[in-house]
A and B are shown apart, each in its own frame.
Chain A
């Protein structure tokens, strides 16, 4: 158990709908990251928050948005869903915001999203 909690674990929804994925980071971690993993793709970086502020942005679609709340949990909102949005969405957390050996990124179990 990494200590990163994601809900829901599985979600099936229809095209055009909106869903919210929730993430609670490990205790003490200030950074939260969201990654998307499709069947034939690696881990695509979406966005990173550090202590409530957006720190880095990747290939996140305009239909997607995220935020980190004062209690450090984060939500990823996916709207106007398309079939191609079906994927495994990982949340991860770490203590800091930069790359160094002590700043290990721990992944949650992921949220499986299926759009039908």
Chain B
């Protein structure tokens, strides 16, 4: 079956612009996570959606970052007024409620802020 997909695969934007990153999780997966990987770093948790519960936003680095998940499926991560330190690979993952530990990752979106 289809895996997690993300779009765009690459995004170059100017400092100060807003960007939207999209994630299509595996069908039927109730859990959805956003992570980012900065150069030379491990994956950093950003936000977590589980079913209809309020999202866990504890990893969002600033109020310029927000995410929503519509209809329990597709998710969009929005970064407002981008800064150069936002440059990273943004990874989305999904999982089932019974095996949320085993998360299935998309290929990521490489964001470059110039």
Q: Tell me if chain B binds chain A.
A: no
Chain A residues with CB under 8 Å of chain B are: none
Q: Which residues of B line the A interface, CB within 8 A?
A: none
